[in-house]
Chain A
Amino acid sequence: MAKRVEASNVTAYYGGFKAIENINLTVEPKTVTALIGPSGCGKSTFLRSINRMHEVLPGARVEGSLTIDDQDIYDRDVDVTAVRRMIGMVFQRPNPFPTMSIFENVVAGLKLNGVRKKSILDEAAEKALRSANLWDEVKDRLGKPGAGLSGGQQQRLCIARTIAVEPQVVLMDEPCSALDPISTLAIEDLMFQLKDKFTIIIVTHNMQQAARVSDRTAFFSIEKTGDPGRLIEYDNTQKIFSNPSVKKTEDYITGRFG
């Protein structure tokens, strides 16, 4: 249930603006990879190109190749929706569907795929909620609105919704930036458990978080505003945070820049 993600020469545009340029990196299965870097360095853009969410914005496009276990997801006859089913995504702000109950939120992805049988849905919902460490908190109120939960619970609900369709890769775009420290801790614990099953790529602004949860870390940066973001250094997290090989990375990590 986990796959290798390989990017080579990925360049992404918003209309005429080049947001990232020539990103090359390989993410191994069943690892957590953190993308860090200053604001506007294109790490979110790169993340969104991995499941082809980048092109949802008008005028946005991606060049280069991105493969998942050797299948190029930007190939011409690839089904975009299949890509997104295979690569799940958790967003910066918790975004449960406001009109749906907790249960309906979790199984929304399955229902889209034509799963109608109540028993399968029940089972999948429980499994996903348990995996997201949310089951005990919500099992008595599955019929209540999903948006009625606290921020941290909502985010775990969104994680449950994402993993209910059992993707190969889970992308997380600053999943804790809108949460308090305790909820953040809960999500970080969760990531640790989830990497047994999924390949996880997380964008974060919080370097301690990157150091805590990730196996590998990629540092993105830009020369100046308006320039495309580039991958500066990509290595084991421990190496990046203790002994980075590029001066720029060190400056960023030690807080001298960015």
Chain B
Amino acid sequence: MGETPHRSADAGTGGTRVTQSHEWPAGASARVAEAPVSARTPGGNGLGGGGALPRNRKFGAERAFHGLTLAAGAMVLVIIVAIAAFLIAKAIPALRANTANFWTFEGWFPNDNPPTFGIGALAFGTVLSAALALLMAVPVAMGIALYLSHYAPRRLGNSLGFLIDLLAAVPSVVFGLWGRDYLIGPVTDLSGWLNKYFSWIPIFGGEGPYGNSILLGSLVLAIMVLPIITSLTREVFLQTPTANEEAAIALGATRWEMLRTAVLPYGRPGIIAAVMLGLGRALGETIALALTLGSTYAISFNVLESGGNTIAANIANRFAEANDTGRGALIASGLVLFAITLVVNIIARAIIYRRREFTESAA
């Protein structure tokens, strides 16, 4: 199926499949390698010659290469630690200077004297918009992925799947621009309508104005992560072994029952990974939200009224005017975002690794 590499390259599904079926080369070949390495002929002369076996050299090309790859591997850990360390180093002076409560204060005035700023509203907006976006995008994405993998004629499914893969590569700034210039019209109308008939539901309350709201932001986010999640889950669904699908069909399952018995359970780790990747993108999305949200600093569940803000959008919007403390404050908010995404990611990985164990102890 020729599509293998890009899934990995689109990153972060956690290689759910690969390690299932290919865990052997690493261990096996590593063990195989011991013997020839230690019995190697030094210098290259006397190939297969008699005499005692040459000794293992302490400093050879083998060790140098091993060391080089080890250093590259360690680099990953170094970078992660460095990210945390440098962000903390730059955030602390600003946090010290802050005269308001960093967690609860609803406002962002780090350039004033004395500086006051708080993360509460931003973190709230980040989580709210990302959650809403996923709530809208995930069911639709799963539906499209199932359509492409199991309902559409194969050729149509493949070409549409290719199209979706391409849409997944479209930069977020394009979605942001589209949301700000075009989606805002329909969303304003929809907001007015929702407010007119459903204002008794608190999230649809308020007086307006509508438009640059959490609703618009999370819709743009949803449309942005939709191709990403679709592309990954389609790949996952396509990998369901035909034997399992046939087993379900032979038991007299309808198409939907076959999907529920064979395809969805098999793909669960991959689905979780895809959703988490989408969540990561939504939480960290900067430009699309900087272009569409109304930038206010209040904690409010109202999704219709102009307003809303996220950590990332706030960084983009306030960076240009920031002085030294201002930058520190933005870095401090970035640290919080880093922590949120780290926690989400680690939880997701833990789920995937645990899930994988069940299916893998099988194989």
Interfacial residues, chain A to chain B (CB-CB below 8 A): 51, 53, 56, 58, 81-85, 88-89, 91, 93, 95-100, 108-109, 112-113, 145-148, 158, 161-162, 165
Contacts and interface: CB of A to CB of B under 8 A. Distances in A.
A97 B362 contact: no
A91 B363 contact: no
A91 B359 contact: no
B247 A56 contact: no
Interface string B308-347: 0000000000000000000000000000000000000000
A51 B362 CA distance: 29
B249 A84 contact: yes
B65 interface: no
Residue with the greatest number of chain A CB neighbours at <10 A, chosen from B154, B251, B265: B251
A95 B244 CA distance: 6
A81 B253 contact: yes
A158 B247 contact: yes
Contacts of B153: 58
Interface of B: 153-154, 241, 243-244, 246-254, 257, 261-262, 265-266, 268, 358-359, 361-363
Contacts, number: 81
Nearest to A165: B251
Nearest to B240: A98
Contacts of A82: 252
Nearest to B355: A99
Contact of A98 (B250, B254, B266): B266
Given A91-B243, A91-B246, A99-B359, A81 B266 contact: no
Contacts of A108: 248, 251, 261
Q: Which of A83, A97, A158 has the most C-beta atoms of chain B within 10 angstroms of its own C-beta? A: A97
B244 to A, nearest CB: 6
A162 B251 CA distance: 7
Given A58-B153, A108-B261, A95 B252 contact: no
Given A56-B249, A91-B243, 12 more contacts: A53-B249, A84-B252, A88-B250, A91-B246, A93-B243, A97-B262, A98-B363, A99-B359, A100-B265, A112-B252, A147-B359, A147-B362
A162 B249 CA distance: 11
Nearest to A58: B154
Contacts of B243: 91, 93, 95
B65 to A, nearest CB: 38
B359 A145 contact: yes
B361 A148 contact: yes
Nearest to B245: A56
A97 B252 contact: no
A57 to B, nearest CB: 10
Q: Pick the 5 closest A-B CB pairs, nearest first.
A: A147-B362, A85-B252, A95-B243, A99-B265, A89-B250
A95 B265 CA distance: 15
Contacts of A165: 251-252
Nearest to B268: A99
A251 B266 CA distance: 46
B363 A147 contact: yes
Contacts of B266: 97-99
Nearest to B362: A147
A56 B241 CA distance: 15
B247 A95 contact: yes
Contacts of B253: 81, 112
A99 B250 CA distance: 18
Contacts of A99: 265-266, 268, 358-359
Contact of A145 (B254, B257, B268, B361): B361
A96 B361 CA distance: 14
A185 B359 CA distance: 28
Contact of A97 (B254, B265, B363): B265
A162 B248 CA distance: 10
Contact of A112 (B241, B244, B251, B359): B251
Contacts of B246: 53, 56, 91, 95
Contacts of A146: 362
